[in-house]
Amino acid sequence: MSDLAAAAEAMGAPEELVERSAEARAVAIGSTTEAILTAWADSSAPAAAPAAETPPAANPEGGPEPTEEEVVEEAATPPAATPPDATPAISPQVVVAAAGAAVNPDAAPILTGRNDRAWTLLLSVTALFVFSIVFAVTLPAREGVLIAAEQVARIPFSSEALSGRDIYVREGCFYCHTQQVRSVVTDIGLGKVSEPGSSISFGSDNYGFQRIGPDLTHVGSREPTNDAEWLENFLTTPRTVSEDSLQPSYEYLSEADMTALIAYLLELE
| Domain coverage including residue 229 | 159-266
Angstrom distance (rounded) from CA 40 to CA 34:
10
Is there a domain that residue 246 lies in?
yes
Q: Are residues 259 and 167 in the same domain?
A: yes
Determine, yes or no, domain membership for 28. yes
The region, left, alpha or beta by phi > 0 then psi within -120 to 50, assigned to residue 191 is: left
Q: What is the CATH number of the domain that holds 220?
A: 1.10.760.10
Q: What does the chain come to in residues?
A: 269
Query: Of 29, 47, 76, which marks where a domain is finished?
Result: 76
The single-letter code of the amino acid at 11 is M
CA distances from 75 to 29, 39, 69, 71, 152 (A): 12, 14, 10, 6, 113
Instruction: Calculate the CA 215 to chain-centre distance.
Output: 48
Highest mean pLDDT among 83-87, 108-112, 197-201, 222-226: 222-226
Residue 140 domain-assigned (yes or no)? no
**pLDDT of res. 195:** 78
Last residue of a domain, one of 76, 92, 125: 76
- Mean pLDDT throughout 104-119? 65
Examine residue 107 and state whether it is found in any structural domain, yes or no: no
pLDDT value at 260 more than 90: yes
25 or 224, greater pLDDT? 224
Q: What pLDDT is stored for residue 115 in this prediction?
A: 67
Express as a percent the part of the chain with pLDDT over 70.
62
pLDDT at 208 over 50: yes
Tens digit of pLDDT for each residue in 35-73? Answer: 888 887 775 444 344 444 444 444 544 555 555 555 455
Give the confidence band of 198 by pLDDT, cuts at 50, 70, 90: low
User: What's the pLDDT band for 92 if we cut at 50, 70, 90?
Assistant: very low
- Highest-pLDDT range among 7-11, 84-88, 193-197, 257-261: 257-261
3-class state of residue 142 by DSSP: helix
Cα–Cα separations (whole angstroms), residue 198 to 70, 201, 268? 119, 6, 11
Digit-coded pLDDT (tens) for 215-240: 998 999 989 999 999 999 999 999 99
The single-letter code of the amino acid at 108 is A
Which tops the pLDDT comparison, 235 or 10?
Answer: 235
Closest CA to 192 of 210, 212, 217: 217
Q: What's the domain count of the chain?
A: 2
